[in-house]
């Protein structure tokens, strides 16, 4: 099945992590986010990929090349990100006649459900959530016995205040061949060219199935990047190819890649991934679904819990990092402490595009853009974001977001 993979967006809700890279290239376990969608598509039956690129497109092209996961890769350029229908329209010249799939490059899908979608044209992936008002909600006719279920799709309602159900659109589609001629849509109320308008047209002319997804995750905000790593790191099997000191203790499914170093006195409780060139210890404690990126460093007496340390990030010594995302080349000064829990046990809130929103996570630490540096004994409050290249002074308490210099 020819598959269009959407990877052109900037990812403004993920800032500052996307200031210098496209959101689909953020790390999830052992590869970029978009590579998980591509690999799952290939395993589920995709015959080739047409990757739509735009913002920082060289990063995406450089990763995939001309082939990935055993299938050919082509590229379509979307110079201006005007919406999902516009993105697929950019890919249309690369498509053969016939049905085609469309997947979001910033989402995770389970292989079995995606395979079912590929076998059930035309169709849209569906998923049940507790907060359907934040998504596009599918209208369906229900099952044959008249109960609410995954019946024929009759349309989609974008972010309704009073959703008719909790069945949402996952952004995974299998369109009939005719849909290649339906991509010239008008602007939505949000000023975008929406692929859901093409879905509405398909519902009018065909019997569109709602294929239930067993597992799915939309990765649009930093805490969802944590969730994505929890999912994919949790699937890794224990493997130790790097240099591990005899006095280190690796517990459970810990992966230490070739070229990584784990020093004396270190305890790592899996699931955890220590990538090539990274170093941990001595006397460090790593636990939870933690990613220690390539060339990252966790030093003496540091504790890192359920976090993502991107390439080159350094937490030198005597520090605590919990439920946090550290961008490339971040450097935490000695004694930097991250708070990740509110005293009232309510979910931690953080700023997204100027609005204070709940992460729905009881434990959530900080997000640091690339190049952040903290002074010794810095304290960072739960939910704080430090912008790209931001700085803190010695013994500073940071209670609110801070932009970079």
| 355, β-bridge pairs | 352
Provide the pairing of β-strand 325-326 with 349-352: unpaired
> Three-state secondary structure along 68-95?
ECCEEEEEEECCCCCCHHHHHHHHHHHC
Task: Based on the residue annotation, tell me whether 317 is a catalytic residue of this protein.
Answer: yes
- How distant, in Å, are the alpha carbons of 111, 232, 308, 323, 391 from that of 224? 20, 12, 12, 11, 25
Handedness of CA 309, 312, 315, 317 (dihedral sign): positive
Handedness of CA 363, 369, 371, 372 (dihedral sign): negative
∠ CA 224-229-230 to the nearest 5 degrees? 90
What is the dihedral angle through the alpha carbons of 107, 112, 115, 116, rounded to the nearest 10 degrees?
-110
**Residues near 110 by Cβ (< 8 Å), separated by ≥ 6?**
40, 213, 214, 215, 216
Phi, psi of 166 (to 5 degrees): -105, 25
Do residues 390 and 372 touch, judged by C-beta distance below 8 A? Answer: yes
- How distant, in Å, are the alpha carbons of 35, 147, 274, 313 from that of 264? 34, 60, 15, 21
Assign 138 to helix, strand or coil. strand
Longest dimension (CA), the chain: 66
- How distant, in Å, are the alpha carbons of 33, 197, 345 from that of 6? 12, 17, 38
Annotated catalytic residue: which of 94, 245, 300, 317?
317
Do residues 71 and 46 touch, judged by C-beta distance below 8 A? Answer: yes
The Cβ of residue 40 has, within 10 Å, a number of other Cβ atoms equal to 21
Q: Cα separation of 241 and 298, whole Å?
A: 18
Catalytic residue numbers, as ranges: 317
């Amino acid at each position: 099945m020819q598959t269009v993979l959407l990877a052109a967006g900037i990812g403004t809700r993920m800032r500052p992590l996307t200031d210098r890279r496209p959101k689909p290239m953020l790390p999830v376990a052992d590869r970029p986010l978009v590579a998980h969608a591509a690999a799952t598509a290939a395993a589920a039956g995709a015959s080739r990929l047409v990757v739509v690129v735009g913002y920082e497109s060289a990063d995406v092209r450089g990763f995939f090349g001309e082939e990935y996961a055993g299938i050919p890769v082509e590229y379509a350029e979307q110079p201006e990100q005007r919406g999902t229908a516009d993105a697929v329209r950019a890919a249309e010249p690369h498509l053969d006649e016939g049905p085609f799939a469309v997947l979001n490059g910033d989402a995770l899908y389970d292989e079995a459900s995606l395979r079912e979608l590929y076998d059930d044209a035309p169709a849209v992936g569906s998923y049940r959530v507790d907060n359907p008002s934040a998504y596009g909600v599918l209208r369906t006719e229900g099952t044959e016995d008249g109960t609410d279920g995954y019946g024929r799709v009759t349309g989609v309602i974008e972010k309704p205040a009073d959703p008719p159900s909790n069945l949402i659109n996952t952004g995974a589609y299998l369109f009939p061949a005719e849909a290649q001629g339906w991509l010239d849509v008008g602007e939505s109320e949000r000023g975008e060219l929406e692929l859901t308008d093409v879905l509405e047209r398909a519902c009018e002319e065909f019997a569109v199935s709602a294929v239930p997804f067993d597992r799915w995750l939309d990765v649009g905000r930093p805490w969802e990047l944590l969730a994505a790593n929890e999912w994919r790191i949790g699937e890794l099997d224990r493997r130790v190819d790097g240099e591990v000191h005899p006095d280190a203790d690796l517990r459970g499914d810990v992966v230490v890649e070739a070229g990584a170093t784990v020093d004396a006195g270190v305890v790592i409780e899996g699931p955890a991934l220590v990538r090539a060139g990274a170093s941990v210890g001595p006397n460090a404690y790593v636990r939870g679904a933690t990613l220690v990126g390539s060339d990252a460093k966790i030093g003496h007496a540091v504790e890192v819990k359920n976090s993502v340390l991107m390439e080159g990030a350094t937490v030198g010594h005597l520090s605590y990092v919990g439920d946090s995302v550290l961008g490339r080349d971040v450097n935490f000064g000695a004694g930097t402490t991250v708070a990740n829990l509110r005293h009232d046990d309510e979910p931690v809130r953080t700023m997204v595009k100027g609005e204070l929103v709940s992460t729905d996570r009881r434990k959530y630490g900080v997000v640091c853009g690339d190049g952040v540096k903290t002074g010794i004994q810095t304290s960072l409050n739960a939910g704080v974001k430090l912008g790209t290249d931001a700085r803190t002074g010695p013994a500073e308490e940071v209670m609110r977001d801070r932009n970079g210099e």
